[in-house]
Every structure is written in structure tokens, then in C-alpha cells.
């Protein structure tokens, strides 16, 4: 990765990141009593454990409205730039991202928020750019959601303006289709000369093209049954970035259940994604994507099968199994994984004490 400060923390070929910990229930819609409540004290404990234990990054979710259900899944969420800034002050080594909805954050404000976080963290702040999809979140903010392609055109202007604010030392005008900014000044500059890590997880062609132009890392799904397919995707993405004169890595995302034995882990994951799932919340999420009881055949069957899919790629098993899966992902060229846990503080120690040493032994 062509980024000085990233290389400072770049001694792990396969990076581990915690995903979704700023949101209640993390990324698994569940009703378990031990589910993650995302209160501040627990977030600080999680970040300290992760920092001391060799986790590489923390990636929050930009979420403004919960999905309902008995737990109001992801209904309690910290805003991510301020959350990251607070946690950067408590940590020393890991990178913490802010997940920023470009259409909701005025670029002048966002540029300065990012610079502030970057100074607090001595260059450890990262930016995850999202363009948004969730209509009620936009309605709640009073901002109209643009057509899909236009969202990325806007994001293009947004990040380009922000980069100028980070870099230009003289006042400038920025007169584009969406943004018209005059006599712009911004001080202080970033913590160092290099850019903060910028990532994106668009699934569409325009999303991918945006990532190729602006991001140091891109997120995609891992295909365990067809590792070759994942490897080909990674190879193509990197070579397309190279064609644009850039260097970019590819990461994946998932959910980890690691227990001393494979049997315990499998039983817990099965329970989490069946009897302990918050189906009403998942029904709320599907409604946002216009998948409803009235327009979908076999809706109940669809809903029943959703919990394991909704958490992303499941990495379930003993420390040996989990390490093995990470090694397989690395063999496909992936540079790391952002994963969620049911309870980040309770479950991290086994990963730190048992999985990370296995990865080290494997040279990762």
C-alpha cells in the first residue's frame, strides 16, 4: 500500500479488524442476553484489548436508525468520527476508521473532523466512505437521496474537495457540478504528509470504479467454495488499480465465533442464527430493500435462512479452525478481514491468545 503511515503498522500480511462495534448488537441481529450494547465503557475496553492484543484496525458502521424488533437492532449507535477520535486517545497502535456518509457530512466540516481525529491518533485515523442506501436515514436527516450513479459522482467531488483541503496551502475555489465552495482555507493540515487510509465497500460497478480511483483498500465477499474466484477478483482489482497508477488491497468481512472446541462454536453459531435471531429486526431490514411478505414468495423460508447470511462470511470453530480460515483467505490474496463478534470484550481474549499466535506461526 502506497501510504507511509499504513506501512508503519504494516508488519502483518493478513490484518484483523473489528467490525460494527459502535452499534448495538454489532452485526448479528440477536436477542441473546450477552449481546453487545455498544456502551462507551465497553467500547473503551474492546479498543484497549484489541490494541494490546495485536488487532490491526477497528471499523465502525455509519448507522443512523435501528431496524426495529425487540432489540431495535443497531438502534443505539455512536457517530463514528467522534467515536474513533475518543478511542484513538485510548490506544497506541491500531488504526481506527470513521465510516462517513458523504452526502450527510458537509465536506468542509468533514475535512476538519478527519484532521482532528488524525492528530489525536498520531496518524492512525482511517476513512471509510459510504454513499448511503437506507432511505429512512436520509428522510430523518432531511437530505434527499440521489440516484445510485449520482451518489458516487457526488462522492467523487466530496473526497476530491477534502483532499484539496488537506493539501492545498493557498485559498482555493472549488466550482463543480454539486459543490461550489469559495475561498477555501483549512489549517492545520494532516498529521503527516501521507493520506489517511481510505476504504470503500461498494458492490456496484460505479462503487468499484470509485474505490479504484480513491481508495487504498476495498471490501469484497470471500467465496470459500471457490477460492479461485476470490483470488481472481483480488488479482484483477489490484491490476486495475495499477493501471491507474495506484496501489490498493482487497479485504473481506465476516462474523467470528471462536470457542475452545469446534462443537461449542458450531452450536453457538447455530443458536445465534436460529432461536436467538431477532427475526423482527431482519424483517425490518428486508422491508428497506423492498422485500416483504406481500411481494415475496416463501417469505418465511427466506427470512429463516437470513441470519447466517446477514452477518457476512461465518468463521466458526476452534482456534485452529479460525486460523485455518484466515490462512485460506490470505492464500486468495486477501489482505485482511473485518469481523464482528456477539460480544467483543468477552470473545476477544480467545482470539488474541489462541488465534493470533497461530497466525504468527504461519508467518501471518
Residue 105 binds ligand FMN (CB under 6 A)? no
User: Quick one: which of 104, 30, 26, 43 has its CA closest to 71?
Assistant: 30
Residue 211 binds ligand FMN (CB under 6 A)? no
Residue 98 binds ligand FMN (CB under 6 A)? no
Residue 55 binds ligand FMN (CB under 6 A)? no
Residue 139 binds ligand FMN (CB under 6 A)? no
Comparison of 241 and 338: residue with beta carbon closer to ligand FMN? 338
Residue 95 binds ligand FMN (CB under 6 A)? no
User: Quick one: which of 311, 312, 315 has its CA closest to 328?
Assistant: 315
Rounded CA gap, 148 and 361, in Å?
45
Residue 84 binds ligand FMN (CB under 6 A)? no
Stretch that binds ligand FMN, among 116-124, 132-140, 166-174, 315-323 (CB under 6 A): 132-140
Residue 64 binds ligand FMN (CB under 6 A)? no
Pairing of strands 197-200, 336-340: unpaired
Pairing of strands 180-184, 172-175: antiparallel
Residue 61 binds ligand FMN (CB under 6 A)? yes
CA angle 34, 39, 41 (to 5 degrees): 100
Residue 201 binds ligand FMN (CB under 6 A)? yes
Locate the DSSP E strands across 5-93: 15-19, 57-59
Comparison of 36 and 191: residue with beta carbon closer to ligand FMN? 36
Comparison of 19 and 269: residue with beta carbon closer to ligand FMN? 19
Phi, psi of 218 (to 5 degrees): -130, 145
CB of 129 vs ligand FMN, minimal distance in Å: 8
Phi, psi of 173 (to 5 degrees): -105, 145
Comparison of 87 and 131: residue with beta carbon closer to ligand FMN? 131
Residue 317 binds ligand FMN (CB under 6 A)? no
CB of 80 vs ligand FMN, minimal distance in Å: 8
User: Quick one: which of 86, 108, 90, 106 has its CA closest to 98?
Assistant: 86
CB of 238 vs ligand FMN, minimal distance in Å: 18
User: Quick one: which of 354, 318, 253, 312 has its CA closest to 16?
Assistant: 253
Residues that bind ligand FMN (CB under 6 A): 61-62, 99, 130-134, 201-204, 207, 219, 253, 338
Amino acid at each position: 500500500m502506497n501510504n507511509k503511515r499504513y506501512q508503519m503498522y504494516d508488519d502483518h500480511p493478513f490484518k484483523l479488524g473489528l467490525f460494527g462495534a459502535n452499534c448495538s448488537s454489532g452485526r448479528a441481529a440477536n436477542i441473546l442476553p450477552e449481546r453487545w450494547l455498544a456502551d462507551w465503557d465497553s467500547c473503551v475496553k474492546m479498543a484497549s484489548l484489541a490494541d494490546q492484543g495485536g488487532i490491526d484496525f477497528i471499523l465502525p458502521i455509519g448507522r443512523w436508525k435501528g431496524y426495529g424488533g425487540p432489540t431495535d437492532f443497531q438502534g443505539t449507535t455512536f457517530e463514528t468520527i467522534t467515536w474513533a477520535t475518543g478511542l484513538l486517545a485510548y490506544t497506541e497502535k491500531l488504526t481506527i476508521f470513521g465510516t462517513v456518509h458523504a452526502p450527510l457530512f458537509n465536506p468542509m466540516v468533514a475535512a476538519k473532523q478527519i484532521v482532528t481525529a488524525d492528530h489525536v491518533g498520531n496518524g492512525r485515523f482511517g476513512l471509510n466512505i459510504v454513499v448511503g442506501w437506507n432511505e429512512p436515514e436520509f428522510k430523518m436527516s432531511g437530505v434527499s437521496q440521489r440516484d445510485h450513479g449520482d451518489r458516487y459522482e457526488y462522492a467523487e467531488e466530496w473526497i476530491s474537495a477534502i483532499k484539496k483541503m488537506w493539501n492545498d496551502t493557498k485559498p482555493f475555489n472549488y466550482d463543480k457540478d454539486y459543490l461550489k465552495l469559495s475561498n477555501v482555507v483549512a489549517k492545520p493540515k494532516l498529521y503527516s504528509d501521507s493520506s489517511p487510509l481510505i476504504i470503500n465497500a461498494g458492490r456496484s460497478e460505479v462503487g468499484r470504479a470509485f474505490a479504484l480511483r480513491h481508495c487504498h483498500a476495498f471490501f469484497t465477499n470471500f467465496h470459500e467454495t471457490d477460492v479461485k474466484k476470490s483470488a481472481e477478483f483480488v488479482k484483477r482489482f489490484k491490476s486495475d488499480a495499477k493501471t491507474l497508477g495506484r496501489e490498493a488491497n482487497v479485504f473481506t468481512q465476516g462474523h467470528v465465533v471462536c470457542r475452545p472446541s469446534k462443537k461449542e462454536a458450531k452450536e453457538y453459531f447455530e443458536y445465534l442464527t436460529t432461536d436467538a435471531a431477532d427475526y423482527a429486526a431482519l424483517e425490518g431490514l428486508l422491508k428497506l430493500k423492498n422485500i416483504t411478505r406481500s411481494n415475496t414468495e416463501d417469505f418465511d423460508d427466506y427470512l429463516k435462512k437470513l441470519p447466517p447470511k446477514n452477518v457476512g462470511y461465518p468463521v466458526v470453530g476452534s482456534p485452529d479452525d479460525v486460523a485455518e480460515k484466515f490462512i485460506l483467505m490470505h492464500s486468495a490474496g486477501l489482505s485482511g478481514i473485518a469481523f464482528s463478534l456477539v460480544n467483543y470484550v468477552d470473545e476477544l481474549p480467545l482470539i488474541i491468545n489462541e488465534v493470533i499466535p497461530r497466525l504468527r506461526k504461519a508467518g501471518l
